[in-house]
Structure 1
Amino acid sequence: MRHDGRHSALPAPPAWMRWLPLLYVIGVLLLEPITPVQWPVSFVLIALPLVTAFAHPPAVVAGATVFGIGLELLLAGTPCCAGRTVGYVWERHYVAAYVCTVLVGALGTILAAHRIRRERTLADVRFVAEIAQRVLLRPVPHRIGNLLLESFYLSAAAEARIGGDLYEAVPTAYGVRLVIGDVRGKGLLAVETAAAMLGAFREAAHDEPDLNALVERVDISMSRRAHQLGGSETGERFVTAVFAEVRDDEGVVRVVNCGHPPPLLIRPGEVSELDHGRSGPPLNLGMLVGDPYHVDTYRFGPGDQLLLYTDGVTETRDPHGSFYPLLQRLRSWGPMPPPELLDRLHQDLQTYSGDQLQDDTAALTAFLLPSAAAGPADAGPDEQDAEGYADPSP
């Protein structure tokens, strides 16, 4: 149920399914005059209520039942080019056909009511899932200081809205801190783990002045959660992630990679991976080695754009099994504002996979404006400043 007590809107069935009963009747009317007398095609109108039940409510199915019986009567009592004559309307086999139509109509009405009840339940569940996603994966602000931000999330399951991929952007006294991650596994456990990690990050991002200390604190939180869950797979409940930090007027971005695909740096005429080869272990596995996490620093100036993504992007396959060529795609597109870039990436992934995504996919991008174009410290999601796109150069 929605917060106002009403049910969520039901998804509209495909247009072809809505028009299927009419097409079915037209087909019968076209076939009836051209078939032999001993083949009364009008008998197939018995199935009209079931055809209608696929996409219409019970009242329409009941109406289709009455219409089907009336049409059967009309066709049975009307002479046609095949030589049929009036006078056999009430023959035994026709009476049986009308009775069967009534029974099938009753069954179709029940099925239609059951289908609507199931669709309404699914719509309500999806509505709840959307609310849960807004709590778990809150929309990032479109602008924080001189950073323009954008994100998207795609679920591999058509019925799902949330999963094990996560992202967040938090403005702190130590700069804007970003994270993107991918929880091992699927289902409710992955969602709960993602929620626990985001909670730990949102809290620690304000307390830890050093990015490395922030990562270690999140790692401790994830290890504690894994042990609380118990079981034989405690050591396999891990999260790959990338943490990034952009401080005002420093001209650099700090990155800690925890076994995750490296972020990409996009500049006019250049797209490169930020990878010094010092990726640490995934979170919850950091305790297995000493000093596992390293902070790598890269030049990050006005006009530069940072793209963080999960492996659902690069592991998307086309119908022939080839992986999605992210670097080649970005180099061919050239620099784009964050909303346009992620919208293009979103559409391209859907097209490349033939709308058959096999894994959850998330992406987060940050575009650095010149300092003179910096606006309020933390603009809300609906306060995006388009002027920052006009001049991406330093």
Structure 2
Amino acid sequence: MWKREKRRGRHAGGGARTRSFVRKLPALMILGGLVFDSFTPQTFTAIPLFVAAPLIAAPFFSLASTVRTGIASMLAVIALRLYSSTLPQVVPLIELLTLATVSVLAVVINGVVRRGNEQLASARFIAETAMRAVLPQPSDRIGGLQVAARYEAAQADEFVGGDLFAVADSPQGVRLVVGDVRGKGLEAVETVAVVIGAFREAAEQESSLEGVAGRLERALAREEARRGGLDVLEGFITAVLAEIPSGLSRVRIVNRGHPEPILLHPDGALEVLKPSVPALPLGMGLGEWPERTDEWDLPAGTTLLLYTDGLSEARNAEGVFYDPAARLRGRIFPGPEELLSALTDDVRLHTGGETTDDMALLAVVRPAAGQPDRRRTVRIVGAETA
């Protein structure tokens, strides 16, 4: 932990030092121009340094600071030419005209950058609002469970993506889904909205978790038909659905080609919940798929962690994938929110902050008492029990 905080502090300190240097750079350019011009023969000129100062200030400074930088550059050149008694000559006058032109251009650039930043901020706000409407944050307690969810964009300023999560309190218990839509942008968000809407309806109406998965499959088929058909490699969704029945210390899971969930026990032990039989993702359009529900014990204090491949496929500089099971084994967390915070911090440490895919995280803790037996049973709809 100490090493993580130390490294994070180094990154933050490096960014602060860079910003501080950029803010000082125009003044340093002017000062460097004064020194260079004062101690070199008249055949040498420092005009490029004076010209660069307002251009550097334009994209980083306010309008007033950009104007002041341009004026300071011109005053510095005038002072040098007065000192050398060369101001009335043609070349110094051309230098001043060039500097004045560049200063006006810097003001124009500053205005363009400011308007672009305002438009970008507006677009970010709209995208974030839309994403929150499609993917609302669940309550921290649902059906007697402690719940925490997190959506982490690959880029700090991006909010629109194809990862999803949802939690619903149904007559059969608490039902959850975490999924990853192939692709990004508005089409991915549309598909996320379809899946979330179908899940919320199915979670309330379907008597089994297999039925919920089937409803999602049919909803995607309708979406495919509405769009005039989607390429089988572009329209699929990996997803894991879970159900924690009321009054039972069990969790049922249907996994459709998604990274395996993890159970973290109160003593630091850990289980990776691998499906008994691998299944295809949703929306592959390859006909009916017999849903397989695996069951695991969910004793008191155990945390169920579901996540997308943005976590498990995050790489470091050497190309090594992040292994959530290995990183979490033996660790104890006071609650689901603390678990997700530790995970997001750790994956940033692993990748050096250079993640390339969004990730959705969902953690659920059942505080009610239960007896752990770690045994798993399997139910297969449309086939014999495995």
TM-score w.r.t. length of structure 1:
0.84
Contact 1:35/1:41 (8 A) holds in 2: no
Q: Superposition pairs for residues 290-305 of structure 1, below 5 Å? A: 290=289, 292-305=290-303
Contact 1:305/1:366 (8 A) holds in 2: yes
Quickly say closer, same or farther: Cα 1:25–1:196, change in 2 above 3 A. Answer: same
* Alignment correspondent of 1:307: 305
CA drift at 1:132 = 0.8
Contact 2:316/2:351 (8 A) holds in 1: yes
User: Could you tell which deviates more after superposition, 122-131 or 281-290?
Assistant: 281-290
Contact 1:265/1:274 (8 A) holds in 2: yes
Q: Superposition pairs for residues 62-77 of structure 1, below 5 Å? A: 62-77=67-82
Match status 1:272 vs 2:277: no
Quickly say closer, same or farther: Cα 1:235–1:70, change in 2 above 3 A. Answer: closer
In structure 1, distance between residues paired with 2:71 and 2:350: 48
In structure 1, distance between residues paired with 2:29 and 2:241: 58
In structure 1, distance between residues paired with 2:229 and 2:88: 72
* Alignment correspondent of 2:354: 356
Match status 1:156 vs 2:166: no
CA drift at 1:112 = 0.7
* Alignment correspondent of 1:135: 133
Quickly say closer, same or farther: Cα 1:307–1:112, change in 2 above 3 A. Answer: same
* Alignment correspondent of 1:214: 212
CA drift at 1:235 = 6.8
* Alignment correspondent of 1:205: 203
In structure 1, distance between residues paired with 2:202 and 2:218: 11
Contact 1:152/1:363 (8 A) holds in 2: yes
Aligned with 2:292: secondary structure?
A: coil
Amino acid at match of 1:141: S
In structure 1, distance between residues paired with 2:190 and 2:25: 43
Contact 1:61/1:109 (8 A) holds in 2: yes
Match status 1:40 vs 2:45: yes
* Alignment correspondent of 2:91: 93
Number of aligned residue pairs: give it. Answer: 353
Q: CA RMSD in A?
A: 2.1
Quickly say closer, same or farther: Cα 1:332–1:40, change in 2 above 3 A. Answer: farther
Deviations 1:226-247 (A, max 9, x none): 1221246157411110001112
Amino acid at match of 1:274: L
Contact 2:276/2:294 (8 A) holds in 1: no
Match status 1:346 vs 2:344: yes
Amino acid at match of 2:59: F
Aligned with 2:311: secondary structure?
A: helix
User: Could you tell which deviates more after superposition, 350-359 or 150-159?
Assistant: 150-159
Aligned with 1:77: secondary structure?
A: helix
Match status 1:26 vs 2:31: yes
Deviations 1:115-147 (A, max 9, x none): 111111000000001101110111111111321
In structure 1, distance between residues paired with 2:35 and 2:110: 28
Quickly say closer, same or farther: Cα 1:260–1:232, change in 2 above 3 A. Answer: closer
Contact 2:238/2:281 (8 A) holds in 1: yes
* Alignment correspondent of 2:284: 285
In structure 2, distance between residues paired with 1:194 and 1:237: 11
Contact 1:266/1:335 (8 A) holds in 2: no
In structure 2, distance between residues paired with 1:286 and 1:273: 29
* Alignment correspondent of 2:383: none
In structure 2, distance between residues paired with 1:27 and 1:340: 51
In structure 2, distance between residues paired with 1:53 and 1:196: 45
In structure 1, distance between residues paired with 2:62 and 2:275: 60
CA drift at 1:256 = 0.6
Amino acid at match of 1:277: S
Contact 1:152/1:364 (8 A) holds in 2: yes
* Alignment correspondent of 1:145: 143
* Alignment correspondent of 1:382: none
**Structure 2 residue corresponding to 1:179, chosen from 177, 180, 186:** 177
Aligned with 1:295: secondary structure?
A: strand
Aligned with 1:340: secondary structure?
A: helix
CA drift at 1:57 = 3.0
Amino acid at match of 1:269: G
Contact 2:146/2:364 (8 A) holds in 1: yes
CA drift at 1:352 = 1.1
Deviations 1:129-174 (A, max 9, x none): 1101110111111111321111111222444202010001111222
In structure 2, distance between residues paired with 1:126 and 1:101: 37
* Alignment correspondent of 1:388: none
CA drift at 1:346 = 0.6
Match status 1:327 vs 2:325: yes
In structure 2, runs of 5+ residues without a counterpart are 1-15, 371-386
Deviations 1:182-211 (A, max 9, x none): 011222221111111011111111111211
Deviations 1:309-333 (A, max 9, x none): 0011111110111111211100153
